[in-house]
Amino acid sequence: MTALLDAKGLCKGFGGVHAVRNVSFVISTGEITAILGPNGAGKTTLFNLLTGFMTADRGEVHFNGSRLTGLAPDRIVNLGCARTFQLCRPFAGMSVEENVMVGCLAPRVRCRKMPRRRALEIIERVGLEGKASLQTHALSHGDLRRLEIARALATEPRLLLLDEPFAGLGASEAGNLAALIHQLHGSHELTVLMIEHRLRELMQLASRVIVMNFGEIIADGEPARVVLQPQVVAAYIGTPEDAYASARRTES
Ligand X SMILES: Nc1ncnc2c1ncn2[C@@H]1O[C@H](COP(=O)(O)OP(=O)(O)O)[C@@H](O)[C@H]1O
- Asked if 48 touches Mg ion (CB under 5 A), the answer is no
Cβ proximity to ligand X: between 107 and 238 the closer is: 238
Select from 40, 59, 73, 168 the one that contacts ligand X (CB under 6 A). 40
Residue 17's binding partner among ligand X, Mg ion, none (Cβ under 5 to 8 angstroms by kind) is ligand X
Query: Judged by CB under 6 A, which of 10, 31, 36, 37 binds ligand X?
Result: 37
For position 17 contacting ligand X by CB under 6 A, the verdict is yes
DSSP string, the chain: --EEEEEEEEEEEETTEEEEEEEEEEEETT-EEEEE--TTSSHHHHHHHHTTSS--SEEEEEETTEE-TT--HHHHHHTTEEE--SS----TTSBHHHHHHHHHTSTT-S--S-HHHHHHHHHHHTT-TT-TTSBGGGS-HHHHHHHHHHHHHTT--SEEEEESTTTT--HHHHHHHHHHHHHHHHHTT-EEEEE---HHHHHHH-SEEEEEETTEEEEEE-HHHHTTSHHHHHHHH--HHHHHHHHHHHH-
- Which of 43, 131 has the CB closer to Mg ion? 43
Q: Which is nearer to ligand X, 134 or 167 (CB)?
A: 167
The smaller minimum CB distance to ligand X, of residues 37 and 52, is found at 37
231: CB partners within 8 A, 6+ apart: 213, 218, 219
* Interacting residues of 32 by C-beta distance below 8 A, sequence separation 6+: 181, 185, 191, 192, 194, 205, 206, 207, 208
14 contact choice in ligand X, Mg ion, none (CB below 5 to 8 Å, kind-dependent): ligand X
Nearer to ligand X, 9 or 186 (CB): 9
Q: Which does 78 bind (CB under 5 to 8 A by kind): Mg ion, ligand X, none?
A: none
Q: How far is the CB of 241 from Mg ion (least distance, A)?
A: 28
Identify the bridge partners of residue 147 per DSSP, sorted by sequence position.
Answer: none
44 binds Mg ion (CB under 5 A): yes
Give the interface segment with ligand X, choosing from 22-30, 34-42, 107-115, 183-191 (CB under 6 A): 34-42
Asked whether position 165 contacts ligand X by CB under 6 A, the answer is no
Q: Name the residue whose CB lies closest to Mg ion.
A: 44
Interaction of residue 190 with ligand X, rule CB under 6 A? no
Name the one range near ligand X by CB under 6 A: 37-45, 108-116, 218-226, 237-245.
Answer: 37-45
Residues that bind Mg ion (CB under 5 A): 43-44, 86
Residues that bind ligand X (CB under 6 A): 14, 17, 19, 37, 39-45
